[in-house]
Amino acid sequence: MTSNILVIGGTGKTGRKVVEGLQKQQQNVRIGSRTNDPAFEWNHPATWPKALAGMDKVYISYYPDLAVPGALEAIQGLTAAAKAAGVKKLVLLSGKGEREAERCEEVVANSGLDYTLVRASWFNQNFSESFLLEPILAGHVALPMPEAEIPFVDTGDIAAVAVEALLHDQHNGKTYEITGPRTLTFQQVVQEIAAGIGKDINFQVVTQEEYNKMMESAGVPADYIWLFDYLFREVLGNPDNQVVTNDVEKVLGRPATDFKEYIEVTARTGVWNQPIPQSI
């Protein structure tokens, strides 16, 4: 059955892959972004009704994170707008082990609409599409929390789970915790990327305070520094978030993508061989 599906954040790390997956299934997809027509902007609720009009289902990815101040109110407003527009199902991308994100989950779960919650661990793609790309290119990665063992997850797996959840009713009311197949420390990640691309990359342990000062010196906005501080201290520091799950295999019928496979695929794109950009 063909559905009309709005993918909020449809140009982002997970959203664009959700769009691709739905289009392959011959679904009618509307991309929710500032540049689409009709436009969708989180900071401009007046854009929401037009973006939601005629949609049966919605994939929700909130930028930059459901933990930030204002996210709860945004999810409350969007959920109400979705109900008013006649949307039947919501699939929310959430963060594994984020208490603030769970408050947003409760809004969706208690909305009276069909829903699926997709709680994801840290993305593999943070090392190739986000804030950790530039340090990889520079050959020097400095991070706190060296003892954290993280089950990094591939955005392709997250998107594939979201597509299944959007298309099939057996996922209604379910919460999936999406991880990769094994845990890695930051140092192990750096070592595996270095080996995979044949490049020397130095890893340096810093304290959280030192890392915050590094971001401040680099001109990172204060609200982003707060977010990274929260994610490192509260999320990566929580032993519950260092547990590998089999939810990817449960939903997709195949194992989760291993980090080595992510390295092989990403290395072929050449992203780790480009000159160091001025800003990312």
Q: Which two tokens stand for residue 50?
A: 């037009």
Residue 236: pLDDT band with limits 50, 70, 90: confident
- Residue 88 is predicted with a pLDDT of 98
CATH number belonging to the domain at 4-122+152-180+242-257, selected among 3.10.20.520, 1.10.10.10, 3.40.120.10, 3.40.50.720: 3.40.50.720
* Pair 46, 81: CB distance under 8 Å: no
pLDDT tens for 149-193 read 999 999 999 999 999 999 999 999 999 999 999 999 999 999 999
pTM: 0.95
Q: Residue 31's beta-bridge partner residues?
A: 7
Torsion of CA 248, 52, 49, 81, to 10 degrees: -50
Q: Residue 276: is its pLDDT beyond 80?
A: no
How far is residue 247 from each of residues 66, 79, 89, 108, 154, measured CA to CA in Å?
21, 26, 21, 20, 13
Task: Indicate if the alpha-carbon torsion angle 73, 76, 82, 87 is positive or negative.
Answer: positive
Residue 20 identity (one-letter amino acid) = E
pLDDT tens for 241-251 read 899 999 999 99
Q: Cα-flanking dihedrals φ and ψ of residue 168, to 5°?
A: -130, 130
Q: Which two tokens stand for residue 158?
A: 């997250």
Q: Is the peptide bond before 151 cis (omega within 30 degrees of 0)?
A: no
* Pair 200, 136: CB distance under 8 Å: no
Residues in the chain: 280
